Structure 1
């Protein structure tokens, strides 16, 4: 029996493109029958390790490119019927606490509600989520036992896991967000989702032929 196809979504809550891409994943899961593994990575660590910079920095001062970037985002919103998205006025937000929280929530069996709340407070009702008080109040308003997650996030195993996730992603070819892996094939950016889906279908079909 062949092992199930491993499909991964590497994310950092600070990336608006990762937020937008994630909204399209449930439909891909439905059409293909796969489940994405959600892997928290620290985008600041990825940038540091690869010498990359955020789109906000790389687009600054370039004629026409930021406008085209905004146009592409509008097209993506329309294509996927995304209505809940607001640019965070505090962007860029330092996401270290958010991302350690994601690992802590995973360890505590609270990943799904934490993940949804974090994205809500970053890109639906955006807040300055690198302010400790704002962070705590936001998650409390979403009904999470955030003090438990904050305490867990201070533990060495959580910090180590986030560093490992980030280092491993870079070793496999990551340089930004969002990044997807279909088996060992890497795809970057929200606009690669159609290719991600094609690759899932191709690898699934190949696996079926092999086991037939």
Structure 2
């Protein structure tokens, strides 16, 4: 019997495009019946390993391209009926604590509430989430036992897991965020979601034919 199709969403809370892409994933899951695995990676580590940089840096001083990116973002918001999104005025935010936190939250059985709260405080009601006091207050306001998660995030297994996720992603071809994997096929960027869904359906069809 063929193994179930593995579909992954690699994210870092510092990427606005990963935030926007994630909002479109539930509809893809509903249409395909396949659930995405959410894989935390440290985007700063990805950039360092690949010599890449954030769009905020790479587009600085370029005429017309940042403006076009803003138009594309507005089109994406309309296409997916996204109404709650604000650019973070403190961008770029160092996300090391946030990302260690989500690994720790997952180990503590708190992935979903932590994940939602982190994205909310980064891109819905944006805050300077690399400030330790702002970070703690934000998660407390969201009802999380954040001190428990902060303590867990200091453990070596959490730090090691985030490094392993990041190095593995780079080894598989990752250079930025958001990145998706459908089986071994890699896709980059929120605008690749249509191709991601098409590939999921194509691979499901192949699996079904093999097992028929």
**Equivalent residue, structure 2, for 1:150:** 150
Corresponding residue number in structure 1 for 2:139: 139
Task: Give the match for residue 57 of structure 2.
Answer: 57
Secondary structure of 1:37 counterpart: strand
Shift of residue 3, structure 1, vs aligned partner: 1.1
Deviation at 1:112, TM superposition (A): 0.3
Structure 1 unpaired stretches of 5+:
none
Q: How many residues align?
A: 212
Q: Does 1:188 align with 2:188?
A: yes
**Cα offsets for 1:136-160 (capped at 9, x unmatched):** 0000000000000000000000000
Task: State the distance in 1 between where 2:198 and 2:133 align.
Answer: 43
Question: Per-residue deviation at 1:192?
Answer: 0.1
TM-score by length of 2: 1.00
Q: Distance in 1 between matches of 2:109 and 2:10?
A: 19
1:29 equivalenced with 2:29 (yes/no): yes
| Alignment gaps of 5+ in structure 2 | none
Give the match's secondary structure for 2:2.
coil
How far the C-alpha of 1:2 sits from its partner, in A, is 1.4
* Moved >2 Å (runs of 4+): none
Q: Deviations over 1:78-123 (max 9, x none)?
A: 0000000000000000000000001000111100000000000000
Alignment RMSD (CA, Å): 0.3
